[in-house]
Amino acid sequence: MKNKYYDLIDQTFDFPQDEFRTEDGELYFHDIPLMEVIKQYGTPLKVTYLPKISSQIQRAKRMFNVAIAKTDYRGTYNYCYCTKSSHFAFVLEEALKNDINLETSSAFDINLIQELHAQGLIDKDKVIVCNGFKKEQYIENIVGIFNDGFRNVIPILDNKNEFTVLSEAVQESAEGTGNEPMLLGIRIAAEEEPKFDFYTSRLGIRYHDIVSFYEKEIKQNSRFRFKMLHFFINTGIRDTAYYWNELAKCVNVYCDLKRVCPDLDSLNIGGGFPPKVSLASNYDYEYMAEEILAQIKNICTQRGVEEPNIFTEFGSFTVGESGATLYSILDQKQQNDRELWYMIDSSFITTLPDTWGINQRFIMLPINHWDCEYQRVFLGGLTCDSEDYYNADSHANAIFLPKLQKDEPLYIGFFHTGAYQESIGGYGGIQHCLIPAPKHVIIDKDENGEYTTKLFAKEQSYKSMLKILGY
Q: Which of 82, 267, 326, 344 binds ligand PLP (CB under 6 A)?
A: 82
State how far the Cα of 114 lies from the Cα of 338, in Å rounded to an integer: 55
Stretch that binds ligand PLP, among 22-30, 208-216, 253-261, 307-315 (CB under 6 A): 307-315
Chain positions 172 to 231 lying near ligand PLP, rule: CB under 6 A, are: none
Nearer to ligand PLP, 68 or 130 (CB): 130
Contact predicate 424/13, CB 8 Å: no
Burial readout 74-100 (b: 16 or more C-beta within 10 A, e: otherwise): ebebbbbbbbbbbebebbbebbbebeb
Stretch that binds ligand PLP, among 55-63, 257-265, 315-323, 406-414 (CB under 6 A): 315-323
Angle subtended at Cα 401 by Cα 399 and Cα 405, rounded to the nearest 5 degrees: 155
Chain positions 95 to 114 lying near ligand PLP, rule: CB under 6 A, are: 103
State how far the Cα of 252 lies from the Cα of 136, in Å rounded to an integer: 32
> Is 317 near ligand PLP (CB under 6 A)?
yes
Which residue type, as a one-letter code, is found at position 462? Y
Stretch that binds ligand PLP, among 267-275, 325-333, 382-390, 455-463 (CB under 6 A): 267-275
Stretch that binds ligand PLP, among 188-196, 314-322, 422-430, 461-469 (CB under 6 A): 314-322
Q: Are strands 153-157 and 128-130 parallel, antiparallel or unpaired?
A: parallel
| Residue closest to ligand PLP (Cβ) | 271
- Rounded to a whole number of angstroms, the minimum distance from the CB of residue 44 to ligand PLP is 24
State how far the Cα of 267 lies from the Cα of 264, in Å rounded to an integer: 9
Stretch that binds ligand PLP, among 120-128, 135-143, 265-273, 348-356 (CB under 6 A): 265-273
Reply yes or no: is the peptide bond before residue 16 cis, omega within 30 of 0: yes
Chain positions 401 to 420 lying near ligand PLP, rule: CB under 6 A, are: 419
> Is 270 near ligand PLP (CB under 6 A)?
yes
> Is 81 near ligand PLP (CB under 6 A)?
no
Stretch that binds ligand PLP, among 206-214, 268-276, 346-354, 446-454 (CB under 6 A): 268-276
- Rounded to a whole number of angstroms, the minimum distance from the CB of residue 85 to ligand PLP is 5
- Rounded to a whole number of angstroms, the minimum distance from the CB of residue 251 to ligand PLP is 18
- Rounded to a whole number of angstroms, the minimum distance from the CB of residue 274 to ligand PLP is 7
Please give the C-alpha separations between residue 252 and each of 147, 194, 262, 297, 301, in angstroms, as whole numbers.
34, 22, 15, 11, 11
Nearer to ligand PLP, 78 or 173 (CB): 78
Nearer to ligand PLP, 48 or 460 (CB): 48
Nearer to ligand PLP, 22 or 268 (CB): 268
> Is 131 near ligand PLP (CB under 6 A)?
yes
Q: What share of the chain is helix, strand, coil (3-state, %, to 5)?
A: 35, 25, 40
Residue 325, phi then psi, degrees to nearest 5: -130, 120
Which residue type, as a one-letter code, is found at position 6? Y
Q: Which of 75, 185, 204, 271 binds ligand PLP (CB under 6 A)?
A: 271
Give kind and range of the element (H or E) at residue 457: strand 451-457
Stretch that binds ligand PLP, among 266-274, 281-289, 344-352, 386-394 (CB under 6 A): 266-274
> Is 313 near ligand PLP (CB under 6 A)?
yes
Contact predicate 165/157, CB 8 Å: no
Contact predicate 63/237, CB 8 Å: no
> Is 353 near ligand PLP (CB under 6 A)?
no
How many other C-beta atoms are found inside a 10 Å radius of the C-beta of residue 324? Answer: 28
> Is 243 near ligand PLP (CB under 6 A)?
no
> Is 314 near ligand PLP (CB under 6 A)?
yes
> Is 315 near ligand PLP (CB under 6 A)?
yes
**234-241: long-range contacts (C-beta < 8 A, 24 or more apart)?**
234/190, 234/192, 234/201, 234/272, 235/193, 235/272, 236/271, 236/272, 236/273, 236/274, 237/269, 237/272, 237/273, 237/274, 237/288, 237/292, 238/272, 238/274, 239/284, 239/287, 239/288, 239/291
> Is 422 near ligand PLP (CB under 6 A)?
no
Nearer to ligand PLP, 272 or 323 (CB): 272
Nearer to ligand PLP, 56 or 351 (CB): 56
Contact predicate 45/328, CB 8 Å: no
Instruction: Give, to the nearest 10 degrees, the angle between helix 51-71 and helix 285-303.
Output: 40
**In 71-202, beta strands by DSSP E:** 77-82, 101-104, 128-130, 153-157, 182-189
Q: Which of 73, 232, 243, 342 binds ligand PLP (CB under 6 A)?
A: 232
Residue numbers of the site for ligand PLP (CB under 6 A)?
Answer: 82, 85, 103, 131, 232, 236, 270-272, 313-317, 419
